[in-house]
Amino acid sequence: MDLGKYSLGIGDRFAHQGKPQLAAIKKAKAKGLNITPVWNKSYREHQIINSKPHDTRREADSSVKSLEWTDPYFVDADHIGIKSVDYFIDSSDFFTIDVADFIGKEVNNRSIKDFVKKCKNCTGEITLPYTGEKVNVTEEKISATSKKFLYAIEEAGKIYRHIEEKKGKDNFVVEISMDETDNPQTPSELLIILAAISFENIPIATIAPKFSGRFNKGVDYVGNVLEFGKEFEADIAVIKFAVKEFRLPENLKLSVHSGSDKFSIYPPISKALKKYNAGVHLKTAGTTWLEELIGLALSENSGLEIAKKIYQVAYNRFDELCVPYKTVIDINVKQLPSPNEVNSWEGWKYASTLRHDQQNENYNSNFRQLLHIAYKVAAELGNEFIDSLMKNEDIITQNVVENLYDRHIKKIFF
């Protein structure tokens, strides 16, 4: 199955914005840019909202039919492991295999020795294509890297073969994710990881490595942008080399789990894609739900009251809501407005405080991060929230299209 050169993860918490998301991608297509839409949702998100994978599939299929989309599209079982994969088998044709929990787990010495032996051709000084960077791969480096990552790749192989047994070969796309770890992978480590993936016979379409810096939910990148740019280019070069050396799929590309809105690193990503004619899979999932909140606030009717209610409950349940996301948020509680203050706001004030416009003096990244993880509160409102989405569909649609097209697609791909 062909994911295409460019693809976009467009998760949607409440499965109501598929059409405007696809409209943004169709807008790009009208300008000559082909992007494959991938609706993604994780097991954690389904559990929090009490939705099912077939809800995501239904949304994707309905949006495609309604907008007469004839190009490929996918539904991603996001961040799955062996315990959760069967939940998605029937509804998904893209599987993000998350191996982060298995990195560093002990693997037996025989497996390490066998892997080092297989990698004999990998040793020596390797000159990477594009960048000309030289990577010195020694047996000691292979051994050390395999101790850290081999168990995780073997686990990915088990999960891949389980999916293949259920769905049949070549009927789905595979991504391997190792971004939710403490330290970024070096070029030599990524090279050895790709060798291990090849030896496991996993035909991956995308790989999500860990980059330096923080990728907090819903807000901009925190870190050295110049260093990120160098890492991104090095990873593109490593993939180019590995595809040829290890007979990996020709269309293998990087996946960036942005947590959405990493605007400061979009320029170096865009530059590298053009410079090396490379592809990318970019996940932008979380901000669609925030555009729904912004639309409710701007409605200046009962939608604004719902938006205020969601913030008040989230503020009072701060610790509970933060637990699942503690490694990917950084909220300064002292800089959160009180619920009483927010209750006094007009809709434009709420919207401008939430919307990710760093030039706007009202923008508050702490407010935005808290609401980003507060979708559980909206889910608990049930029909009250969903009915308000439908009542204010026009303004929300406009927000979703503008957010995805202007803030993401244009900045990355044009």
| pLDDT tens-digit series, residues 213-257 | 999 989 999 999 999 999 999 999 999 999 999 999 999 999 998
- What pLDDT band is residue 303 in, cutting at 50, 70 and 90? very high
**Inter-axis angle of helices 365-372 and 287-298, nearest 10:** 110
Query: Is the pLDDT score of 32 beyond 60?
Result: yes
**Is the distance from CB of 194 to CB of 137 less than 8 angstroms?**
no
Least confident of 19-23, 143-147, 323-327, 390-394: 323-327
Angle between helices 393-402 and 287-298 (to 10 degrees): 140
326 against 180, higher pLDDT: 326
- Please determine, for residue 339, whether its predicted confidence score (pLDDT) is greater than 90: yes
Determine the Cα–Cα distance for residues 273 and 244; give it in Å rounded to an integer. 19
Per-residue pLDDT at 84 exceeds 70:
yes
Where does residue 335 rank: exposed (0-12), middle (13-18), buried (19+ CB within 10 A)? exposed
pLDDT confidence tier of residue 120, bands split at 50, 70 and 90: confident
Q: Residue 130 pLDDT > 80, yes or no?
A: yes
Left (φ > 0), alpha (ψ -120 to 50) or beta: where does 277 sit? left
Domains and CATH numbers, the chain: 6-285 (3.20.20), 288-393 (no CATH)
Return all residues near 159 (Cβ < 8 A) that are at least 6 apart. Answer: 80, 81, 82, 85, 95, 97
pLDDT computed for residue 285 by the predictor: 67
Q: What value does the mean pLDDT take over residues 394-409? A: 96
pLDDT in tens, 139-178: 999 999 999 999 999 999 999 999 999 999 999 999 999 9
> Percent of the chain scored above 70 by pLDDT?
99
pLDDT digits (tens, 9 = 90+) for 59-72: 999 999 999 999 99
* Residue 258 pLDDT greater than 70, yes or no: no
Q: Tokens representing 23?
A: 């409209």
